[in-house]
Amino acid sequence: MDTGTFNLPEIPSIPDLSGFGTPDSTPFLDGWYEGTIVEQRTSTDRNGNERTFASEDAPSTNGDSRNIKLQVIVKRQSDERTANMRYMVNYRPADLTAETVAAVVAQQAKVKSEGAQWDELFRPFVTLQRLHVLQDVAGVRQFQRNGNGGLDIHGLFGKTVYVRLAEDDRDNRYRMIKAVSATPPKKAPVL
């Protein structure tokens, strides 16, 4: 078998290929970022299939509560790179009754003044806090019903929101939205 000799030209100079081919994959770090809540977003997976993700208020899988799922496009200030993320608030209709709200307000006063524990009111307390922040983002005093058993979240679409990213509870290679604010944080930079 004759392999022969090939006369290849010499390589003139070796170019810098650091920015060639793959997009910047520098991960988003833990911290605060500016984002925009959108009604829906589309994404193309590795196989070229397009998927649509919608912001919605829908019943949970087991049906005993509801999930507000918000699609948020998070933007990094340093390079304008964006990441598609989801923020979810789970609530039970009972969390929004006048009795529950009054009980949470009374318990909050006891926690502050006496150091009492939250016990069974902790979950509704967290839920009400999260819904309050979303009302601030939407610029409304209170959400209205959507006609399908949930809350009308249309007032959130297109709104700027500040989100705190941290390690995803399920997979530490990813980041998830851990907190939301209508205003930029005062003690931390927006990355």
Angstrom CA distances, 51 to 56, 60, 100, 138, stand at: 16, 21, 39, 26
pLDDT for residue 176 is more than 90: yes
Alpha carbons 159 and 162: distance in angstroms, whole number: 10
Q: pLDDT grade, residue 3 (50/70/90)?
A: low
**Which pLDDT belongs to residue 12?**
72
**Which pLDDT belongs to residue 181?**
96
44-83: per-residue pLDDT in tens? Answer: 888 888 999 999 999 999 989 999 999 999 999 999 999 9
**Model confidence, pTM:** 0.81
- Mean pLDDT value across residues 102-118: 92
**Which pLDDT belongs to residue 24?**
57
Q: pLDDT grade, residue 151 (50/70/90)?
A: very high
- Mean pLDDT value across residues 155-182: 94
Q: Tokens 């999260």 correspond to what residue?
A: 130
**Which pLDDT belongs to residue 35?**
97
Q: pLDDT grade, residue 16 (50/70/90)?
A: low
Burial class (CB in 10 A: 0-12, 13-18, 19+), 57: buried
Question: Within 10 Å of residue 176's Cβ, how many Cβ atoms?
Answer: 17
pLDDT for residue 14 is more than 80: no
The residues facing 167 across adjacent strands are 175
Q: pLDDT grade, residue 127 (50/70/90)?
A: very high
- Mean pLDDT value across residues 146-160: 94
- Mean pLDDT value across residues 97-123: 93
- Average pLDDT of the chain is 90
List the one residue out of 48, 41, 148, 143 whose CA is nearest residue 87: 41
